[in-house]
Amino acid sequence: MREPKKLSKELEAMIRVDQAGEFGATRIYAGQLAVLKNSTITPTLQHMADQEQVHLKTFNDLCVTHGVQPTILQPLWHVGGFMMGAVTAFISEKAAHACTIAVEEVIADHYQSQLDRLGHREPELSSVIAKFRDEELEHKDHAEQEGGREAPAYQAITSVVKKITKTAIWLSERI
């Protein structure tokens, strides 16, 4: 068996937090799909969930390749992500879209910050992050087109979701 390529602490943190974020995203969509399983938006949610599964597999593979331990907070993200998705979907379809808008805005900014820090180092990782950032922005754009900004209590929902997402990022980079 090949020895994993040792990474800097910064790169380990990037892979760990991105794996955690994609894991959380799969759980958010699982929660939304559990509530909206017979909705007109179910196929769209499933498509986005499928993309998040690809993102998660990619970061899982990077964790294995580079010997990066996933965050020990994953059990919390398992429950918390599902609940965030289910609660917003229970409020309304537009609230579920508002959740997507908020999460994807934070994640796109997070990915862009990583790309800025990487510069021309690690072109393979940069390519993955750039591709996934673009797909997250597509999710945000779609959620906006579906009326996510018209959700009841839009400002409150997005404010809370953004704070939770930023906190999860901060914690997952460190633990």
* Binding-site sequence positions for Fe cation: 22, 52, 55, 104, 136, 139
Which parts are annotated binding residues?
A: 22, 52, 55, 104, 136, 139
Rounded CA separation 170/167 (Å) = 5
Q: CA-to-CA distance for 8 and 89, rounded, in angstroms?
A: 39
How far apart CA 85 and CA 78 sit, in angstroms, is: 11
Q: Report d(CA 17, CA 95) in Å as an integer.
A: 26
d(CA 38, CA 143): 18
Q: How far apart are CA 52 and CA 140, in angstroms?
A: 13
Q: Write out the two tokens for 56.
A: 């998660």
DSSP state of 151: S
**How far is residue 27's CA from residue 141's CA, in Å, rounded to a whole number?**
20
